[in-house]
A and B are shown apart, each in its own frame.
Chain A
């Protein structure tokens, strides 16, 4: 093959290409409310440079993003807003919960603070810390990458299996009955 088209070409399957591009280009929606948002700013600015991991295209519109990055305390007043933003994001979508407050309410066991955002939306990766260091957040993003690949593989496998099943069924349906 290489002899035919030269070294600037790589052959692959479409699924692999799609996997590769999905996991290397998250477009996060930074739902930053508090201290964690400042550490998120550190993560995206030049010193830590999250673009090395393909997640620097920060989008402030839920319609354009696929990762909801909840950075900071979410209280009961903010909860309906968070839910709405999550609902507005197109599938496939993932959620990173950054920091103790978003994960569990942190040390605010209080009358106005939600005890973890998983009360209203599903979470894929929890990043502990108060606030997590930029390294912690980057590790969280890497974990999400792996999770995305696992999810897609499982999805494809299920898809294949169900297709196989359908095929068998249709073959069975077409088989002559005695």
Chain B
């Protein structure tokens, strides 16, 4: 039986949104019905004012700009659409704004004044689609290199068309600095990265130093831009799963879940309980792995190598679990649309229990080493601190936001899978500095273990590990060899792929770094029309120059570690 039900329709008009809409001329805002969340099609002329109203009106309070991306529809008269995703932390409400644009007039107002998070998002939209943002102070390419020509995410751009960058074209920043005749030291501009170990391999920091104090700084990224979104458009829905592994490769499994859930939402597929159960356990283990790497490398950056070895050991053990589930250690691709790759191994529960018993000791050891360590406290307390309000304005989510006193967690605010049935806490700290970001990750490891324990106590649900729907999941090997019908379905799925009904969905999960969202558009074929990933690191890292200015150069190194920037996810 097919589970491809007809698309659900009707999101009823919300009164607070209608009140805002009434303030603007009729026809400038058109609500679009029948989608996963409230959607407005906004005319560009009123966009700036609409956003101001949405942010400042106490009834709406959209204080966070989650995401901005573009979409290209070559056949339409208004060829491009700029898509904004707004979120209100207070109300837990979402809103999507679509701004249609004509190809010959791709100018939008820059809304940096409302949300600083848009700084890099607008640069990305310029880079990928060629949108111009009126009033953006530094609108240059961000992900692609300086010699790049054209805008790669437009539909008429060939996915394999490359441009060669030579050394003389590498970007050199210009800093407008006030006169420094009073300063004690001569100013010096230094360049760190992209291959500097403190920059974790792929970021480039350029800073003007006065003695050891950073006066001004600039960050360049794009050294690991791997064209995830363009690759998604050229592969079938299932083939995108391995690409999602390589977004945040420290916790690849969570990306799998995020993407598969998005597609399942479009397909209206019900995932069997066993798969949901296993997905949650493995997601939480992945979160633990991610936090281990982040905290371990942060301590290495601060000079403490021992904790890194301590924290890598549980990671190695979790690799063992993942390897038993799917055969891979790091880039697992263990999810399939509609379930899991295969049945769980017989010793799955025993392995999980062993890990749950073992990991707390390692965490405890590291905390004993550093929590009251004079050197670590001196290096981290008050360093790169940010207030909750600023963090929200910059679009932060995840542990970094929760370390600044804002308790937004997707698992709690918008529970998916079984999270609403679990007993867990969302740890919140108020320092907003490197020390608290470190501690909150340690607290979250404990919460994750608590969740896993509860799930294990419920016992593994019986039943299949993937949905029994031949349009979505491959039939079993046995059926495939013995039944004509199963073989035909197998052939169709392999050669043609899953056909996802027309529509669009934004779906989010709590990644290790924050809200990991996938905004996906389908045109009814076997490939995504557009697959945009809302990477939690991206807005967090855009804050980095502001965090380190005025601090010392060694603080900059420690604060980068504490933010847990993963290049694969940042640059996609």
Q: Write the A102-131 contact mask toward B (1 if CB under 8 angstroms, else 0).
A: 000001111111000000000000000011
Tell yes or no: A41 within 8 A of B by CB. yes
Given A76-B145, A78-B202, CB of A45 within 8 Å of CB of B226: no
Tell me whether A33 and B246 are in contact (CB under 8 A): no
Given A38-B249, A60-B196, CB of A76 within 8 Å of CB of B165: yes
Residues of A within 8 A of B77 (CB): none
Tell me whether B195 and A81 are in contact (CB under 8 A): yes
Given A75-B223, A112-B225, CB of A32 within 8 Å of CB of B201: yes
Tell me whether B230 and A35 are in contact (CB under 8 A): no
Tell yes or no: A37 within 8 A of B by CB. yes
Tell yes or no: B439 within 8 A of A by CB. no
Residues of B within 8 A of A73 (CB): 224, 226
Tell me whether B329 and A80 are in contact (CB under 8 A): no
Query: Which A residue sits closest to B153, measured CB to CB?
Result: A111
Tell me whether A34 and B224 are in contact (CB under 8 A): yes
Residues of B within 8 A of A52 (CB): none
In A130-163, the 8 Å CB interface with B consists of 130-131, 133
Residues of B within 8 A of A133 (CB): 329
Q: Is the interface of B mostly helix, strand, loop or mixed?
A: loop
Tell me whether A108 and B227 are in contact (CB under 8 A): yes
A29 CA to B495 CA, complexed, in Å: 43
Tell me whether A112 and B195 are in contact (CB under 8 A): no
Tell me whether B145 and A77 are in contact (CB under 8 A): yes
Of A35, A77, A80, which contacts B144 at CB under 8 A? A77
Tell yes or no: B458 within 8 A of A by CB. no
Of B223, B242, B313, which contacts A78 at CB under 8 A? B223
A34 CA to B91 CA, complexed, in Å: 37
Residues of B within 8 A of A41 (CB): 293, 312
Query: Which A residue sits closest to B165, measured CB to CB?
Result: A76
Q: Write the A76-103 contact mask toward B (1 if CB under 8 angstroms, else 0).
A: 1111110111000000000000000000
A58 to chain B, nearest CB (A): 9
In B288-339, the 8 Å CB interface with A consists of 293, 308-309, 312-313, 315-316, 319, 329-331
Residues of B within 8 A of A72 (CB): 201, 224
Tell me whether A110 and B250 are in contact (CB under 8 A): no
Tell yes or no: B197 within 8 A of A by CB. yes
Q: Is the interface of A mostly helix, strand, loop or mixed?
A: loop
Residues of A within 8 A of B231 (CB): 107-108, 110
Residues of A within 8 A of B250 (CB): 38
Tell yes or no: B383 within 8 A of A by CB. no
**Chain B interface bracket (under 10, 10 to 19, 20 to 34, 35 or more):** 35 or more
Tell me whether A77 and B201 are in contact (CB under 8 A): no
Tell me whether B162 and A76 are in contact (CB under 8 A): yes
B569 to chain A, nearest CB (A): 11
In B447-506, the 8 Å CB interface with A consists of none
Tell me whether B159 and A109 are in contact (CB under 8 A): yes
Q: Write the B252-291 contact mask toward A (1 if CB under 8 angstroms, else 0).
A: 0000000000000000000000000000000000000000
Chain A residues bordering chain B, tally (CB within 8 A)? 36
Residues of B within 8 A of A37 (CB): 201
Query: Which A residue sits closest to B150, measured CB to CB?
Result: A111
B146 to chain A, nearest CB (A): 8
Tell yes or no: A42 within 8 A of B by CB. yes
A42 CA to B226 CA, complexed, in Å: 23
Of B165, B226, B331, which contacts A79 at CB under 8 A? B165
Tell me whether A46 and B152 are in contact (CB under 8 A): no
Residues of B within 8 A of A76 (CB): 145, 148, 162-165
A88 CA to B116 CA, complexed, in Å: 40
A34 CA to B571 CA, complexed, in Å: 11
Tell me whether A60 and B567 are in contact (CB under 8 A): no
Tell me whether B227 and A113 are in contact (CB under 8 A): yes
A75 CA to B223 CA, complexed, in Å: 7
In A25-68, the 8 Å CB interface with B consists of 31-35, 37-39, 41-42, 45-47, 60
Tell me whether B568 and A34 are in contact (CB under 8 A): yes
A60 CA to B165 CA, complexed, in Å: 24
Residues of A within 8 A of B163 (CB): 76, 111
Residues of B within 8 A of A77 (CB): 144-145, 165, 222-223, 225
Residues of A within 8 A of B293 (CB): 38, 41
Of B160, B164, B201, B242, which contacts A110 at CB under 8 A? B160
Tell me whether B226 and A112 are in contact (CB under 8 A): yes
Tell yes or no: B167 within 8 A of A by CB. yes
Tell me whether B249 and A35 are in contact (CB under 8 A): yes
B240 to chain A, nearest CB (A): 11
Residues of A within 8 A of B550 (CB): none
B105 to chain A, nearest CB (A): 26
Tell me whether A81 and B330 are in contact (CB under 8 A): no
In B206-224, the 8 Å CB interface with A consists of 222-224
Query: Which A residue sits closest to B171, measured CB to CB?
Result: A77
Q: Write the B137-179 contact mask toward A (1 if CB under 8 angstroms, else 0).
A: 0000001110010001000011111111111001000000000
Given A34-B246, A35-B249, A133-B329, CB of A78 within 8 Å of CB of B194: yes
A73 CA to B226 CA, complexed, in Å: 8
8 contacts between A and B (CB under 8 A): A33-B567, A42-B319, A47-B316, A60-B196, A75-B224, A76-B162, A85-B195, A133-B329
Q: Which 4 A-B pairs have the closest CB atoms?
A: A110-B227, A35-B249, A77-B145, A45-B312
B-side residues, CB < 8 A to A, are 143-145, 148, 152, 157-167, 170, 194-197, 201-202, 222-227, 230-231, 242-243, 245-246, 249-250, 293, 308-309, 312-313, 315-316, 319, 329-331, 567-568
Other than the given A42-B329, A110-B226, 20 more pairs (CB < 8 A) read A33-B223, A33-B224, A35-B249, A42-B312, A46-B313, A47-B312, A47-B316, A73-B226, A80-B166, A108-B231, A110-B159, A110-B227, A110-B230, A111-B157, A112-B148, A112-B162, A112-B226, A112-B227, A131-B331, A133-B329
